[in-house]
Amino acid sequence: MAVQERPAEFAILGLLEAEDSGSHGYDLARHFAAGEPLGEILRLEPGMLYHHLKRLERSVSVTSTTSRSGSRPPRQTYRITEHGRNRLRTWLQSPVQHTREIRLDFLVKLYFAERLEPQLAVRLIETQLGTLRELRDSLAARESAGVADPFLASVLELRIAQTDAAIRWLEQLQQTPSTHESRNHKAGMP
């Protein structure tokens, strides 16, 4: 697995971006539970969630403040930083490079792009379509150039079929734009 993917960390950043007042671990955890839309594509157990929060703090993408309300156990309230916001925005604008990443990485990007700034989602779908079309064309070129091994030919056909399916799905997304109300839409992320 390539270094620097970590859709989970960007998902956490995305949740914090939508919460001006910050959020704490247990609160964030609910979004990753079964039944929640985000939980349907990305499951995150408490252990890993708290681990990611520590990592994000180390990379200065979030800051935390300890607060005890009454006699409850103390909470770590996390807020996204300027640096975190920049990383998030860059990530949300970058299409995934491989068809297999559509299922997880791209869906997470789409989820937050739609919720944070619908225009971002429109552009993301466009650039992702461009990337996948290039990929499809390069696969098709390899196929028509002739593949010696019949097994490898099948593999190529599978990849083309999966990529085409993703392309058609994206085209359909483009035509039936999200009716999602941008409840958390802010004037614009920096």
Partner DNA sequence: AGAGCCATGTAAGAGGTTACATGATTAG
Partner DNA sequence: CTAATCATGTAACCTCTTACATGGCTCT
Under the rule (CB under 7 A), what is the footprint of DNA?
Answer: 1-4, 6, 8, 24-27, 29, 43-48, 50-53, 55, 70-76
Q: Tokens 């593949």 identify what position?
A: 147
Q: Is 169 in the site for a second copy (CB under 8 A)?
A: yes
Partner whose footprint covers residue 98, from a second copy, DNA, none (CB < 5 to 8 Å by kind): none
Task: Give the residue with the Cβ less far from a second copy, 13 or 166.
Answer: 166
**Residue 92 beta carbon to a second copy: minimum distance, rounded to whole angstroms:** 15
Q: Is 8 in the site for a second copy (CB under 8 A)?
A: no
The residue from 10, 78, 91, 111 that contacts a second copy (CB under 8 A) is: 111
The residue from 8, 44, 110, 116 that contacts a second copy (CB under 8 A) is: 110
**Residue 108 beta carbon to DNA: minimum distance, rounded to whole angstroms:** 12
Partner whose footprint covers residue 162, from a second copy, DNA, none (CB < 5 to 8 Å by kind): a second copy
**Residue 39 beta carbon to DNA: minimum distance, rounded to whole angstroms:** 12
Q: Is 113 in the site for a second copy (CB under 8 A)?
A: no
Q: Is 41 in the site for a second copy (CB under 8 A)?
A: yes
Task: Report yes or no: 122 and 177 within 8 Å, Cβ to Cβ.
Answer: yes
- The rounded distance, in Å, linking the Cα atoms of 79 and 23 is 7
List C-alpha distances in Å: 145 to 135, 137, 139.
Answer: 15, 12, 10
Find all residues with CB under 8 Å of 45, minimum gap 6, and list them.
Answer: none
**Residue 176 beta carbon to DNA: minimum distance, rounded to whole angstroms:** 32
Partner whose footprint covers residue 185, from a second copy, DNA, none (CB < 5 to 8 Å by kind): none
HEC letters along 45-71 = CHHHHHHHHHHHHHCCCEEEEEECCCC
Q: What is the enclosing helix (H) or strand (E) of 30?
A: helix 25-31
Longest dimension (CA), the chain: 72
Find all residues with CB under 8 Å of 126, minimum gap 6, and list them.
Answer: 174
Q: Tokens 């993703």 identify what position?
A: 166
